[in-house]
A and B are shown apart, each in its own frame.
Chain A
Amino acid sequence: AQRVTQPEKLLSVFKGAPVELKCNYSYSGSPELFWYVQYSRQRLQLLLRHISRESIKGFTADLNKGETSFHLKKPFAQEEDSAMYYCALRAGGAQKLVFGQGTRLTINP
């Protein structure tokens, strides 16, 4: 079975500091990984997906198949980055996404 683990429920960093949200997955095949974000009073929305290999709002994430990880990183956190972040996995060929438990990120001024 596929599983996504986000080990940190809460993460607090100061503005301007680097931030890393951890995501590990278990899946024996070739996965597709995503990060979704939920800002206060807004809908869940896609932040980035590994196949596009792009940087969104300064965030990047690299799929490391050896470590089965897809950590989300940003070199300089901003207050508007405060939100709930979910890592998600799609198993090859499936239409379902499996989500992690979520990490609430708080950026302190």
Chain B
Amino acid sequence: DAGITQSPRHKVTETGTPVTLRCHQTENHRYMYWYRQDPGHGLRLIHYSYGVKDTDKGEVSDGYSVSRSKTEDFLLTLESATSSQTSVYFCAISGTTGELFFGEGSRLTVL
């Protein structure tokens, strides 16, 4: 497996609370991504990063923000979690081949 870890792996929180998910890589890859996985919707891109402090929005970015202060870390923040953000979140990285390597996923439940 590519050196990519996500934390926390599971989290239950209440509506309106902030949540931060962390993605850490040891591969020194330039590109990092956050996707959410929902039944019937597949994988949808939230945000991605193409370098330190360089990020861009994906197709479902509303309600999410990201930060990348170091090559190895890509943080996804829900400023005020809502029930619609209950999902499984996947981090991915890619290098020169263009292949995506995924983390194990973080299951978030917003009550």
Contact = CB atoms under 8 A, between A and B. Distances in A.
A74 interface: no
B102 A95 contact: no
A101 B41 contact: yes
A31 to B, nearest CB: 12
Contacts of A99: 35, 42-44
Interface string B68-111: 00000000000000000000001010100011101111000000
Contacts, number: 46
Contact of B40 (A32, A90, A98, A101): A101
B42 A43 contact: no
B62 interface: no
A97 B40 contact: no
Given A43-B104, A95-B31, A95-B50, 15 more contacts: A36-B100, A43-B1, A43-B102, A44-B43, A44-B100, A45-B102, A46-B99, A46-B100, A86-B42, A90-B98, A96-B58, A97-B45, A99-B44, A101-B40, A101-B41
Interface in A54-90: 86, 88, 90
A104 B103 CA distance: 20
Given A44-B90, A95-B48, A95-B94, A49 B99 contact: yes
Interface in B4-62: 31, 33, 35, 40-45, 48, 50, 58-59
A44 B90 CA distance: 9
Instruction: Name the residue among A32, A86, A88, A101 with the largest chain B CB count within 10 angstroms.
Output: A101
Contacts of A95: 31, 48, 50, 94, 98
Nearest to A1: B59
A96 B50 CA distance: 10
